[in-house]
Chains A and B, each alone.
Chain A
Amino acid sequence: MKTRYVPSTELLERAQCGEMAAIGRLITRAEGNVEEIRSTLSTIYQRAGRAHVIGLTGVPGSGKSTLVGTLTARLRTKGQKVGIVAVDPSSPYSGGAILGDRVRMSELVLDPGVYIRSMATRGAVGGMARATLDVVDILDIGGFDTIIIETVGVGQDEVEIAKASHTTVVVSAPGLGDDIQAIKAGMLEIADIHVVSKFDRSDANRTMVDLKKMLTFGAMTSAGTGWQTPVVGVSSLSGEGLDELVEKIELHREVARSSRGDARRRAIATFRLQKTAEHLLVERFTKASASAVPALAERLSRRQGDPYALANELLASAAASS
């Protein structure tokens, strides 16, 4: 069954009218890095920028997906249209992925004011996929007011989300005291809002106290904005704390939108620019160097040269052939 290939420019017009299938197809093409969509993505980027982007991150099993679900339901009661980009890891072996975040958001599916899209990391590190921010732009022009990026379950170093979102929410679950120790160098620093999830559990308060204590060791407010990072206990089960979380998010959005958010906006643009250049570079290099790799790798494995010298040779040959 061959069907007509709908040009991306046409999909864009339909996506702006909120047509779900058109938004879906644009995302697929952006994710697939299809040549044909690049000029349309340029238009999309220039039309986007209206939505508030929330990055939600935390260790695996901390309750991110469930929280995205309950938070979205709460934002909907305030009349906001919500787009969700849920990132899950690709298998390093097969490249395949099980994208399971949707299962925890099933009550939202039939709400036309909610769009959920799952993405696999496809080898990208940092907690997001290569095209995650393109997807955010597409949802933005599709009329979604708030867009939540749910990262993969992260460890210590996956802090890119802070440079991709206006408001970064870090989720910690109770009972993982050691993990809090472990994340304090990376994730504690990037949070604009801390959430202690599963707050119905008896040990949740302990986690909250730990987090607050940890915060007092660092700077109490983030430089330039005067924003004081709150810690909010949330139970998705009972709904406790959700109103407070929404309120903090709204407060932070005001800060982010004001002149106090200038530095953050520049940081986001810088990150996007550098990351995109990096992708282009890798793409070109991989293509230009492919033919030279096997012979050089062979020499390296025979120890007929060292990694730096041979890598330099590889770079030189790629430069020559591109």
Chain B
Amino acid sequence: MEPIRVLLAKVGLDGHDRGVKVVARTLRDAGMDVIYSGLHRTPAEVVTAAVQEDVDVLGVSLLSGVQLTVFPKIFALLEEHGARDMIVIAGGVMPDEDVVELKKMGVAEVLLQDTTPDKIVATLKRLVTERGAR
């Protein structure tokens, strides 16, 4: 099977990237191709990169509390590019009620701060398997 391609992105005014780098390393060690966006990206930059790289999974790490403004923009942009089939996941620290909101929007999974590395890997593999060939 081909390696799963993942873009890990940090959006907006959020300089904390230790978590996302640990996740990047974890996914790499699980045999995935991981692209990291770098810090302080806009939703447009992230979506353009995700579409050009045609990733299976777009993972957005947020520790700044702006998830409810960022994800609607991301979905709108994916729609614009005709890439609404991309699996979008959220990671970071956020309130439970936001998790519910994000899932309603179409975020496939929200991986909070206590998620184990094994669980992250298993979740991505499951989501990609469920999606099927593309």
Contact = CB atoms under 8 A, between A and B. Distances in A.
Contact of B85 (A3, A93, A120): A3
A100 interface: yes
A19 B37 contact: no
B132 A2 contact: yes
A91 B83 contact: no
Given A25-B134, A110-B45, A122-B3, A102 B28 contact: no
Given A103-B36, A110-B44, A118-B35, A96 B51 contact: no
A94 B53 contact: no
B31 A94 contact: yes
Most buried by B among A109, A115, A117: A109
B85 A97 contact: no
Contacts of B29: 91, 93-94, 96
A110 B48 CA distance: 7
A20 to B, nearest CB: 5
Contacts of B52: 20, 23-24, 115-117
Contacts, number: 102
Size bracket of the A interface: 35 or more
Interface residues of B, number: 35
Contact of B35 (A1, A20, A99): A99
B49 interface: yes
Contacts of B5: 28
Given A21-B54, A110-B45, A117-B53, A94 B37 contact: no
Contacts of A117: 52-53
A1 B134 CA distance: 11
A5 B41 CA distance: 31
Contacts of A2: 131-132
Nearest to B127: A1
Contacts of B111: none
Contacts of B35: 98-100, 102, 118
Given A98-B36, A110-B44, A116 B28 contact: no
A25 B36 CA distance: 19
A103 B36 CA distance: 7
Interface in A201-241: none
B54 A28 contact: yes
B33 A106 contact: no
Contacts of B130: 1
B3 A120 contact: yes
Contacts of A93: 29
A29 to B, nearest CB: 9
Contact of A106 (B25, B45, B82): B45
A93 B28 CA distance: 10
B102 to A, nearest CB: 15
Contacts of B89: none
Contact of A31 (B2, B82, B85): B2
8 contacts: A24-B51, A24-B53, A24-B83, A32-B2, A96-B29, A96-B33, A103-B37, A120-B33
Interface of A: 1-3, 5, 19-21, 23-25, 27-28, 31-32, 90-91, 93-100, 102-103, 106, 109-110, 115-118, 120, 122
